[in-house]
Structure 1
Amino acid sequence: MRRYEVVYVAFDDLSQEEADAQLERYLSIISGYKGTVVKVDKWGKRKLAYPIQKRREGCYVLIDFVGDSAIVPEMERRFRIDDKILRYISVKKADKVDLEEIEREIAAIREAAKPAEKEAVEEPSEAAETGDIEESEQEHQETKPAESPEAPVEEDASSKEVES
């Protein structure tokens, strides 16, 4: 078994459902060849370094997996067929992989994701329970990093109406 990393750039105008279905198709290739997905990282919409097919932005996705060498050619074949993929790259990270080490890494990634999900779910509910939604929003705004002095500060019309 070898460890691979695949990054692909899809159209930026895909809906969330289409992007998830597209990702699921590629993950099914890995599982179909009896591979193991270590990590899926959705980087989201980002600006491209140069225009590709007259597009300036793309949606980036990274898939880290362990499996047989036959997975990569099949995934690349599907990337070439899929007209919603702008670019892709496959990189072999390791020739031989200890499966026990990979299982520990997967478990560590899942454990790290659980507390982050719980915090994201608990924060809005605490503010809603106490009725201090406006106060929690003010606290959130205070914790934002300061903008650079060179960047112009824009005020939207809604904030001007509230101040009046």
Structure 2
Amino acid sequence: MNNYELMVIFTPVLSEEDYKAAQKKFIDLVTANGGELVNTNPWGLKSLAYPIQKKTTGLYWVMEYKAPSDFNEKLKIQLLRDDNVLRQMFTVLNKYAVEYNGKKRSGVPTGTEKVEA
């Protein structure tokens, strides 16, 4: 199983319940196909760099998970079929990225923080 990170931008017109239901749908898809959820991070409403489907904001959500390599194609198909998804991006995480994300979640200094003088 490989480590992956998925960032999804949902349409900004979703209610809070619909936003959580959309997240749960993709989490359930990962676990139902033999994957393992590592972490989720809902960023909330953010401005887009450029308009997508005439929308200038989107609901961002990041999910880190472990899954077989052939699973991402199934997940991509489901993301493309969902009308609430504006954009998605998969990232394969190497061992250093997994270690960095783990340190960041636990609050351990990663060495990339800004130092105020």
Q: Same fold (TM over 0.5)?
A: yes
Q: Using CA pairs under 8 Å that are at least 6 residues apart, name the structure with larger relative contact order, 1 or 2.
A: 2
Matches within 5 A, 1:60-139: 60-94=60-94, 109=105
Q: After TM superposition, where is structure 1 displaced by more than 6 Å over at least 4 residues in a row? A: none
Paired position in structure 1 for 2:2: 2
Paired position in structure 2 for 1:55: 55
Inter-partner Cα distance in structure 2 for 1:17 and 1:42: 13
Greater helix content: 1
Structure 2, gaps ≥5 residues long: 108-117
Paired position in structure 1 for 2:42: 42
Q: Tell me the secondary structure at the aligned position of residue 86 of structure 2.
A: strand
Inter-partner Cα distance in structure 1 for 2:33 and 2:94: 18
Q: Is the 8 A contact 1:35 1:67 kept in 2?
A: yes
Structure 1, gaps ≥5 residues long: 96-100, 113-164
Q: Tell me the secondary structure at the aligned position of residue 51 of structure 1.
A: strand
Inter-partner Cα distance in structure 2 for 1:52 and 1:12: 11
How many residue pairs end up in the alignment?
A: 101
TM-score by length of 1: 0.57
Cα deviation digits, residues 104-150 of structure 1 (max 9, x gap): x5xxx5x87xxxxxxxxxxxxxxxxxxxxxxxxxxxxxxxxxxxxxx
Inter-partner Cα distance in structure 2 for 1:88 and 1:61: 10
**Which structure has the larger Rg over C-alpha atoms?**
1
Cα deviation digits, residues 14-35 of structure 1 (max 9, x gap): 0111011111110011101111
TM-score by length of 2: 0.79
Greater strand content: 2
**How well do the aligned residues superpose, as a CA RMSD in angstroms?**
2.0
**Structure 2: which amino acid aligns with 1:85?**
V
Inter-partner Cα distance in structure 1 for 2:74 and 2:61: 17
